[in-house]
Amino acid sequence: MPIYEYTCPDCGKTFELLRAIREADERAVCPDCQSAAAKRIVSNFFSPGLNVGGGCSGCAGGNCQSCGH
């Protein structure tokens, strides 16, 4: 089961839940204020092999071979 991120409009808390895919968009209960109005939000993720920026921050040429990193 995937982990989804939710935010509570009542108290502002952001939290994660392990849920079945079919339950992903259902409202969730906030662990802080117990409101049942929490909604799923789009989460950022990290993948060690994923290079979205086209190179490291020191690469003016757009790839790590151009700067030696």
Instruction: Give the closest residue to 5 by CA, choosing from 44, 41, 46.
Output: 41
Higher pLDDT, 57 or 18: 18
Q: Residue 49 above 90 pLDDT?
A: no
Give the pLDDT band (50/70/90) at residue 53: low
| Beta strand segments in 23-69, E | 39-41
How many Å apart are CA 22 and CA 35, to the nearest integer? 21
pLDDT at 29: 95
pLDDT at 68: 57
How many Å apart are CA 38 and CA 44, to the nearest integer? 18
Q: Residue 12 above 60 pLDDT?
A: yes
The structure's pTM equals 0.61
